[in-house]
Amino acid sequence: RQPEGSFLLHLINGSGCFDKSYFKPIKIERLHICLRLEQEPLRVTDLCAQQSYPFHWENEKLFLDLQNLEAFCCFKIEFHEKE
């Protein structure tokens, strides 16, 4: 959790690592992520692309769908301020 209350979600494709060598990772396609959260997100930002990312919220769960994951990506999950 970040000081201002947001979360960072890092996704790393480790398929290119082998001992002390590194090869181009195998692309992972159609990745579905579900996170249980206490609070509904205000927005999700793809930090690598520097743009908002679509998400779905249902039953205290955040759903993200990625078309593909090459080496890595990082999402910032921000929340409404608690009153």
**pTM of the entire predicted model:** 0.84
Tally of helices (H runs) and strands (E runs) in the chain: 0, 9
What does pLDDT average to over the chain?
90
Predicted confidence (pLDDT) per residue in 22-54, tens digit: 788 888 999 999 999 999 999 999 999 999 999
**Residue 83: predicted pLDDT:** 58
